[in-house]
Amino acid sequence: MPESSDLSATETHEQEASLPVEETGGVPTQRGVGVIAEALKTMPLSPGVYRMIGSTGEVLYVGKARALKKRVTSYTQLSRLPERIRRMVSETVAMEIVTTHTEAEALLLEANYIKRMKPRFNILLRDDKTYPWLVLTEQHPFPQIAKHRGKMEKGASYWGPFASAWAVNQTVAIMQRVFLLRTCTDSMFASRTRPCLLFQIKRCSAPCVDRISQEDYAHLVTQAREFLSGNDKEIKAEFAAEMERAAEALDYERAATLRDRIRALAQMQDSSVVNPASIGDGDVIAVWQDAGQACIQVFFIRGGRNNGNRAFFPAHTRDETDADVLQAFLAQFYDDKPPPPLVLVNCEMPEETLLAEALSIRRGRKVEILRPQRGERRDVVEHAETNAREALERKMAESAGQAKLLEGVAKAFGLSAPPSRIEVYDNSHIMGTNPYGVMIVGGPEGFERRAYRKYGIKGAITPGDDFAMMREVLERRFGRALREAAEKAGAASASGAGVAGDIAATGGLSGQRLDVATSSGAVGGEETPVTSSAGGRPEGAGADWPDVLLIDGGAGQFSAVRGVLDALGVSGVKLVAIAKGPDRDAGREWFFTDDQPPFQFEPRDPVLYYLQRLRDEAHRFAITTHRAGRSKSLVKSELDDIPGIGAARKRALLNRFGSARGVSQAGLSELEAAPGINRETARSIYGHFHPGWTGG
């Protein structure tokens, strides 16, 4: 973040509204100034990161500075602060700092804290997605190519990231067509006795049944590595020469195969804008703002090929500039992924040099940030900017329509304001087996899939007892929420009487940590009151407390859920049940709620369609969750029941014996000879499959 923008805030429209007169310059603000002034007494002039702490222990704001004491001093000069920053100061009851060796390290640590702590007065990158990569295994004689998410492990090569699973799946499909590499797992590879369908349709060279030698397969792997590294011209030339030789030898079938492989390669290089030749490895990032909202479009270019693009919509206030938003985004975006050697942007940033230095530290090699002025690179950036503008226009149009629907929901069910969070619950099971309950969430931004939850039913369920399943789900969901709210309310009370609780530092770079926790009572002699939530919400309840709870069912389900909520002491939530109409006719549903008799919407009412979509989404999520759990149980191996057999040993056994049945039929000496299996484990495995064996 630039020095001039450290005072930026990330707030909702309600937070942007003008503050009451007594808050902008009265006791709360002066108390916050006193907290900061007290912290300044022991604050060093070194580079570092500072955190403003609120009364409940939440982190309000994270900032970095070249000289901590100079930077934090500006918060005591109230007349120079914007109104929203005075509000942040008024909510501050403690401060924490972490010193670093350089300002670049401070920038990296600031991004780490912002992404993990999500302070509401910062520009926030709302993205918790793990990006897929392309992986090529190395420890097997015949390496496998596949999609990978999660932690990278030794013994494999990775290319990426890709913007989506679809993008990496497309690349895997092309790699199959061009280089005929296997995609099957090691256990499946070991158990094959004849080629699979992929060999028949020319998508695999079938190394599992020796249709290709290890040397020839290794050559295909080398070609694939060269291609993924950007050396596609040499690969095309080699294929073309080989095709000509095959045609001259009258081997037209092989020539046709090579022709198809060349065409598959050409598909990935159709457009110089989408697949720029002048960019080997780099990211193209463009920001576009309109009506107080921003969209950032990111294109991943690796080896001169487009690995897909994604749109991001960071949370920020209306007066943030394009440069401020983009700079905050870049620091947070590369917090958990290695930056490429080149980053192309569509606007200059005030601390571009510092940011490039920080990203170079993150990568371990030089990273260059450029704003191209001409040529192909400029065309690519303009292409990304156009995509950002169009994505923002679509989102704003969708948000406007969503706002009208939520207003209709509020009117239909007598709410004082449009709901910001609607939770919908559903169950799925087959005669009590593999029971799951799910929760989906809708709101002003549409379906909030990051808030979806799955609940594997733990209690004994009588087949068909959906009431018991729903009771368990609600008890787990709201029981936990109420406990967390009580803890936050207790923390708020404690901070009002004394010192705010310490917040544990998460991740980041090494450096001296200096906690400066100052009591609000030490400054003003008063306790900070705990603010009660509006609408009957419990004290300490956060943004994940629902306004509306929608369930699929009639009067019986409604009464059962109402009883559970009352027993838990849940208040401030509008309970609505949606029952299917006569003959389960969509469009004639009945709605049940507390303070009005059951009713139906007019046919083709947009609000009715919206509520139907919410119900159907919950049903879809419940079905897919149940099916996934059922499929997992169906493919569960008997090896999973043996103590001491984890994923690695299970893989070693299947590679050696081909299947669980092969393991069960193996002798003790054969088990002891298996890689990764010691004598004690071999005896445990043998005893599992031979219950009468005494170990003699």
Residue with the bigger pLDDT between 509 and 48: it is: 48
- Give the pLDDT confidence score for residue 283 in this predicted structure: 92
- Give the pLDDT confidence score for residue 586 in this predicted structure: 64
Pairwise CA distance, residues 590 & 574, whole Å: 16
Q: Is 599 exposed, middle or buried (0-12, 13-18, 19+ CB in 10 A)?
A: exposed
Lowest mean pLDDT among 28-32, 552-556, 674-678: 28-32
Q: Say if residue 521's pLDDT is above 60.
A: no
DSSP string, 63-92: EEESSHHHHHHGGG-GGGS-HHHHHHHHH-
Pairwise CA distance, residues 534 & 263, whole Å: 63
Token pair belonging to 111: 């991004």
**Contact (Cβ atoms closer than 8 angstroms) between residue 142 and residue 204:** no
CATH for the 282-395 domain, from 3.30.365.10, 3.30.420.10, 3.40.50.1220, 3.40.140.10? 3.30.420.10
Lowest mean pLDDT among 75-84, 341-350, 522-531, 668-677: 522-531
What does the domain layout of the chain look like in residue ranges? 138-267, 282-395, 422-632, 638-689
Angle at 489 between CA 488 and CA 495, to 5 degrees: 85
CATH of region 422-632: 3.30.420.340
Bridge-partner residues for 433, per DSSP? 430
Q: Say if residue 268's pLDDT is above 70.
A: no
The tens digit of pLDDT for each residue in 214-252 reads 998 998 898 888 888 777 677 777 778 878 887 887 877
446-447 and 513-516: which strand pairing? unpaired
> What is the pLDDT confidence band of residue 576, given thresholds at 50, 70 and 90?
very high
Tell me the average pLDDT across 635-662. 76
- Give the pLDDT confidence score for residue 537 in this predicted structure: 66
- Residue appearing with tokens 């997605």: 129
548-552 and 574-579: which strand pairing? parallel
DSSP string, 364-411: SS--EEE---SHHHHHHHHHHHHHHHHHHHHHHHHHHHHHHHHHHHHH
The tens digit of pLDDT for each residue in 531-572 reads 333 345 666 666 788 999 999 888 888 998 999 999 888 888
Contacts of residue 621, defined as CB under 8 A and 6 or more positions apart, other chains included, come to 426, 438, 440, 452
What number of other Cβ atoms are within 10 A of residue 571's Cβ? Answer: 11
**Plot region of 36 (φ>0 → left; ψ -120 to 50 → alpha; else → beta):** alpha
Would you say the C-alpha torsion 398, 400, 406, 408 has a positive or negative sign? negative
Tell me the average pLDDT across 409-423. 93
Q: Say if residue 689's pLDDT is above 90.
A: no
- Give the pLDDT confidence score for residue 200 in this predicted structure: 87
Q: Say if residue 324's pLDDT is above 70.
A: yes
Measured N-to-C along each axis, helices 352-363 and 322-333 cross at an angle, to the nearest 10 degrees, of 10
282-290 and 94-99: which strand pairing? unpaired
Question: Residue 673's closest CA among 686, 659, 660?
Answer: 686
Lowest mean pLDDT among 15-19, 175-179, 192-196, 508-512: 15-19
The model's pTM: 0.61
Pairwise CA distance, residues 512 & 505, whole Å: 11
Contacts of residue 54, defined as CB under 8 A and 6 or more positions apart, other chains included, come to 60, 91, 92, 93, 500
Token pair belonging to 14: 């309600």
Q: Say if residue 210's pLDDT is above 80.
A: yes
Contacts of residue 298, defined as CB under 8 A and 6 or more positions apart, other chains included, come to 163, 283, 284, 285, 309, 310, 311, 312, 333, 384
- Give the pLDDT confidence score for residue 9 in this predicted structure: 33
**Contact (Cβ atoms closer than 8 angstroms) between residue 455 and residue 481:** no
- Give the pLDDT confidence score for residue 284 in this predicted structure: 93
Tell me the average pLDDT across 119-133. 79
Counting every residue written for the chain, the total comes to: 696
SS (H, E, C) 157-217: EEECCCCCHHHHHHHHHHHHHHHCCECCCHHHHHHCCCCCHHHHCCCCCCHHHCCCCHHHH
The tens digit of pLDDT for each residue in 457-492 reads 887 767 667 788 888 899 999 988 888 777 766 665
- Give the pLDDT confidence score for residue 619 in this predicted structure: 92
- Give the pLDDT confidence score for residue 696 in this predicted structure: 61
> What is the pLDDT confidence band of residue 509, given thresholds at 50, 70 and 90?
very low
Highest mean pLDDT among 35-44, 428-437, 656-665: 35-44
- Give the pLDDT confidence score for residue 548 in this predicted structure: 94
Tell me the average pLDDT across 595-619. 90
Pairwise CA distance, residues 113 & 319, whole Å: 23
Quote the percentage of the chain above a pLDDT of 90.
Answer: 25
Token pair belonging to 102: 């350089």
Token pair belonging to 633: 């149980």
AA letter at 111: A
Measured N-to-C along each axis, helices 375-413 and 606-634 cross at an angle, to the nearest 10 degrees, of 110
Indicate if 638-689 has the same CATH topology as 282-395: no
Pairwise CA distance, residues 340 & 131, whole Å: 15
Q: Say if residue 139's pLDDT is above 50.
A: yes
The CATH architecture assigned to 638-689 reads: Orthogonal Bundle (1.10)
Average pLDDT, rounded, for the chain: 80
Q: Say if residue 500's pLDDT is above 70.
A: no
> What is the pLDDT confidence band of residue 425, given thresholds at 50, 70 and 90?
very high
Lowest mean pLDDT among 63-67, 273-277, 298-302, 611-615: 273-277
SS3 606: helix
Q: Say if residue 20's pLDDT is above 80.
A: no
- Give the pLDDT confidence score for residue 83 in this predicted structure: 80
Q: Say if residue 87's pLDDT is above 90.
A: no
What number of other Cβ atoms are within 10 A of residue 3's Cβ? Answer: 17
> What is the pLDDT confidence band of residue 626, given thresholds at 50, 70 and 90?
confident
SS3 562: helix
- Give the pLDDT confidence score for residue 420 in this predicted structure: 92
